[in-house]
Structure formats: structure tokens, C-alpha cells
Chain A
Amino acid sequence: MNASLTTPSVTEEAQKQTMKHTCEHHAECMKVIQAILDDEATDAEKEHFRTNMDKCIPCIESYRLEKCIKDSLNLKIQKKPCPQSILDTIISKINS
């Protein structure tokens, strides 16, 4: 195997050291993550997200999880068409 693939570069090593493995304000971060994903974040929340999220492992993982759940709800759950009989009943009742 190529050594360059297994040995982290100096920059990667430096980057790893700055990554946080615990988040001291995770509950607050969870609210920010939710607001960002819902496109409802305030300017302060967006700023918090920009400055903190890329160096905090628990927050990055939470963001991935929340996004995945939101996407699953939106894309995976079956949406049924309204039965034609209901449409017909509504139309006939409002026309009577």
C-alpha cells in the first residue's frame, strides 16, 4: 500500500488536533443545527454554525444524522394520492 495514503500529512495532523471530540454546548448546537436544516436560523445561529461546526466532531455527526432523518422523512415515506371517490364527492356536494 502506498505510504502516502496511510500516513497522515502534516496538515491533516494539525487539522485533527484542532478538531473537538466533545462539545461543551451540544444542546445549544442541536437547536442551531435544527434551525439551519429547517432554513430558519437567525443571523447569530448562522454565525455560530459557521464558526463552530467544522471543527466539532459531535456536531458534524449530529448534523449528518439530523439531515439524514429529515431527508428520509421527506423522501422515503410513501405519499398516497387522494382517492378519486373523495374528489368526486366533494365536487358533487359543492355543486349541489
Chain B
Amino acid sequence: MLVAMSETLTTNEYTDDLRYEVFNREFMPHIDSMYNFAFRLTMDEDDANDLVQDTYLKAFRFISSFEQGTNAKAWLFRILKNSFINDYRKKSKEPSKVDYQEVETTYNSEEASDTTYTVDLRADAVQELIGDEVANALNSLPVDFRTVIILCDIEGFTYEEMAKILDIPIGTVRSRLHRARNLLKEKLKSYASSMGYDS
């Protein structure tokens, strides 16, 4: 699995000193973003700690497949995402057990592509929401939808970078993001309603 992480499958010659230098210079500055990503994926502090630690140790071990000058943050996020799927997802304590395929099928259906599909939510109502309410709405989405929103809106990755991190085509990034945002709007709407912000 880790060999496949390098797009070009090239390995670069790294001296021991260079390994530490690249690790400190290219990888360590992203540790806070990685920690937050891990926490939002696993929804559990202990799992997030383990996931970040495992990811950084893998990154160090396989540093020769990292090409200097390429996007280190995207490279690290990709390792973390793969580790999450392979090692953590099965034991995830996530309460939402919605099957992603099922959700994607629903949203791919004719009904969902209906041009009239909109959520009745006003920008003013969203402005009233506090960070915890926005975070709760995000956290209540199935993990694959949550992930695209985190990568795009919180971490600022481009569609192309997201496609590489998630191993999906750019067209799928666009459509998944679109569906994720529609789902998020529904969640935000119910928060706004429960707080009385939407009247």
C-alpha cells in the first residue's frame, strides 16, 4: 500500500541527515492540521493520537518515496487517510453507521438531481451559529462526506490535491463535495431551527 503512495514510484536517495532535515522542515509544520484531521475522522482523542503518531512514523520510514518540492501536506494527508481506512475505520466509535455507498446512491438518484433541490436556510441564520454548532453539524455527516468538506473548506486543498489524497477522479471530488454541502445545509438548518435562528 505504501509503495503506491508515490505517484511516480520513484525512490529518492536520502542520507540519514537529509531524512531528519526533510522530516523536520517539510512534515512537522503540518502536525496541527494532521491532528485536527485525525480527530475529525476518528471523533476520538485516543484514536487521533495513535493515528497521527502512526502516520508520522510511516512518513519517516517511507520518506524516500517523498519527492522534495512536491506538496508534503497532501502527501501526509494521504497516508493518514489510508491509515484511517485500513486500521481505524473498523474499530471507529463513530455513532453514525450510515453506509457511504447507500448515501451516495441516494444522492445520485433522479430525485436528488432534481433542479429544485434546495435547503431552506438563510445566510443570516448560519451567521448566528457558534463554532460548536457548526462542528457538530459537520461531525454528524457520514465520514466520506465529512472528509471532503474538511479537506476543501477547512484545510484549503485544491480539487486536484483532494483527488490525489482520496484516490478518486476530480469529477467525483466535485460531485461528492456538492452532495456533502447539501447534507451539511440540512444539518445546519436543523441546528438553526432548534436555536430559533431561522424565523
B107 at the interface (CB under 8 A from A): no
CB–CB B113/A27 < 8 A: yes
| Centre residue among A69, A74, A83, A85 by max chain B CB count within 10 A | A69
Residues of chain A from 22 to 70 with CB closer than 8 A to chain B in the complex: 25-28, 30-31, 34-35, 38-40, 61-62, 64-70
Q: Which residues of A contact B (CB under 8 A)?
A: 25-28, 30-31, 34-35, 38-40, 61-62, 64-70, 72-74, 76-83, 85-87, 89-90, 93-94
Task: Say whether, besides A25-B115, A69-B188, A76 and B134 are in contact (CB < 8 Å).
Answer: yes
- Find A26's partner among B115, B153, B159 (CB 8 Å cutoff): B115
CA distance A85 to B184 in the complex (A): 34
Task: Say whether, besides A31-B174, A38-B159, A86-B53, A65 and B138 are in contact (CB < 8 Å).
Answer: no
Q: Which residues of B contact A (CB under 8 A)?
A: 20, 23, 31-32, 34-36, 39, 49, 52-53, 56-57, 60, 113-118, 121-123, 126-127, 129-132, 134-135, 138, 149, 152-154, 156, 158-159, 174, 177-178, 181, 184-185, 188
Closest A residue to B19 by CB, please name it: A94
CB–CB A81/B32 < 8 A: yes
CB–CB A86/B35 < 8 A: yes
CA distance A74 to B36 in the complex (A): 13
Instruction: Give 10 A-B contacts (CB < 8 Å), ordered by A residue.
Output: A27-B115, A35-B174, A69-B184, A72-B126, A73-B154, A74-B156, A76-B131, A76-B135, A82-B32, A86-B52
Closest A residue to B51 by CB, please name it: A86
SS class, residues of chain B in contact with chain A: helix
CB–CB A73/B153 < 8 A: yes
- Find B153's partner among A35, A74, A87 (CB 8 Å cutoff): A74
CB–CB B53/A68 < 8 A: no
CB–CB B60/A94 < 8 A: yes
Nearest-Cβ distance from residue A74 to partner chain B, whole angstroms: 6
CA distance A79 to B49 in the complex (A): 15
Closest A residue to B28 by CB, please name it: A87
- Find B52's partner among A31, A62, A82 (CB 8 Å cutoff): A82
CA distance A50 to B57 in the complex (A): 48
- Find B130's partner among A39, A69, A76, A80 (CB 8 Å cutoff): A76
CB–CB B32/A68 < 8 A: no
A85: which B residues are within 8 A, CB to CB?
Answer: 49
Given contacts A67-B123, A77-B154, A86-B53, 11 further A-B contacts (CB under 8 A): A28-B115, A64-B123, A70-B153, A73-B154, A76-B131, A80-B32, A80-B36, A82-B31, A83-B35, A89-B53, A90-B52
CA distance A13 to B128 in the complex (A): 32
CA distance A75 to B123 in the complex (A): 15
CB–CB A80/B135 < 8 A: no
